[in-house]
C-alpha cells in the first residue's frame, strides 16, 4: 500500500460511505455500509461505482456492545476478525484484531477526551460546524506481540465532512497491512456511529 491513505466520508448518503485514496490520489477502495440492517454489514469495493466487491465485513450478532466483525474476501475466505472490548471500550475505544483465532493487533484510542469534545461541540447550533476543524480523534494499531505502533489513523481538519488519514509507522507484511487497514475502516464506521 502506498501510505498515507486518505479516507473521506460521504456526507449526503443514507448509509455511511468512505472513499479511500492512496498517497498519489488513486482510489484504493470504496466502502459502503448497508443501511437499515439489524446486523452490521459492510462491503469494500475496488471502484467508486461499486461494481467490484473485494471484501465483506459482517457482525456476528445484532447488538454490538461486544460484537465481532468477520472480514472475508469475496470467495468467502476469512481475512480476519475485529472485536470491540464491550464495556471496557465504553470510555476509551479498544478493539482486538485476530487472524485464525490468534490476536494480531490492538486498536486503541489515543485520547478519549478529544472524541468527547468533538461530539459535544458538534451538537452546538451554528458553532458546531467548527468541531470538524478543531478536534481530531486518533487511533493506534499496535502489534499484539511487540507492542509497537504500526498504523495510526487520525481525523484531519475539515468542514462538513469526516476526513481521516492512515499512516504507516512500522513495517508490516502485505497480509497484515490489508487486515490492519480493513480493521481500521470498520472501527471508524463504528466509532462515528457512537458519536
Cβ count within 10 A of residue 160? 9
Grid coordinates belonging to 5: 491513505
Q: Which domain holds residue 32?
A: 5-194
Helix (H, G, I), strand (E, B) or coil at 154: strand
Contact 29, 20 (CB under 8 A): yes
Cβ count within 10 A of residue 43? 17
Sign, CA dihedral 16-20-26-29, equals: negative
User: Which ranges in the chain belong to alpha helices (H)?
Assistant: 112-122, 131-134, 174-194
Contact 82, 95 (CB under 8 A): yes
pLDDT, averaged across the chain: 86
At residue 56, the pLDDT reads 96
At residue 190, the pLDDT reads 86
Cβ count within 10 A of residue 153? 26
59-89 pLDDT, tens digit per residue, is 988 766 678 999 999 999 999 999 987 655 5
CATH of the domain at 33: 2.40.160.200
CA 148 to chain centre: 19
Number of compact structural domains in the chain = 1
How far apart are the C-alpha atoms of 168 and 120, rounded to whole Å?
30
Grid coordinates belonging to 183: 480493521
| CA distances, 91 to each of 88, 95, 159, 181 (Å) | 7, 12, 26, 23
What 8-state DSSP symbol labels residue 74?
Answer: T
Sign, CA dihedral 163-72-37-114, equals: negative
Name the more confident of 157 and 54.
54
* pTM reported for the whole predicted model: 0.87
Helix (H, G, I), strand (E, B) or coil at 99: strand
How far apart are the C-alpha atoms of 142 and 156, rounded to whole Å?
21
30-62 pLDDT, tens digit per residue, is 998 887 666 788 999 999 999 999 999 999 887
Residues present in the chain in total: 195
Amino acid at each position: 500500500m502506498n501510505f498515507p491513505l486518505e479516507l473521506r466520508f460521504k456526507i449526503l448518503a443514507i448509509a455511511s460511505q468512505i472513499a479511500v485514496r492512496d498517497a498519489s490520489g488513486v482510489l484504493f477502495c470504496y466502502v459502503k455500509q448497508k443501511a437499515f440492517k439489524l446486523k452490521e454489514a459492510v462491503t469494500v469495493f475496488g471502484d467508486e461505482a461499486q461494481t467490484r466487491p473485494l471484501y465483506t465485513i459482517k457482525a456476528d450478532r445484532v447488538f454490538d456492545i461486544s460484537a465481532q466483525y468477520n472480514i472475508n474476501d469475496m470467495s468467502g475466505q476469512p481475512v480476519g476478525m475485529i472485536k470491540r472490548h464491550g464495556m471496557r471500550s465504553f470510555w476509551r475505544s479498544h478493539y482486538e484484531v485476530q487472524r485464525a483465532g490468534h490476536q494480531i493487533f490492538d486498536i486503541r484510542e489515543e485520547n478519549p477526551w478529544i472524541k468527547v469534545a468533538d461530539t459535544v461541540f458538534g451538537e452546538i447550533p451554528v458553532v458546531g460546524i467548527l468541531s470538524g476543524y478543531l478536534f481530531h480523534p486518533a487511533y493506534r494499531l499496535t502489534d499484539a506481540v511487540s507492542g509497537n505502533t504500526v498504523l495510526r489513523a487520525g481525523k484531519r481538519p475539515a468542514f462538513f465532512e469526516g476526513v481521516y488519514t492512515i499512516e504507516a509507522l512500522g513495517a508490516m507484511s502485505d497480509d497484515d497491512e490489508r487486515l490492519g487497514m480493513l480493521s481500521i475502516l470498520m472501527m471508524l464506521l463504528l466509532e462515528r456511529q457512537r458519536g
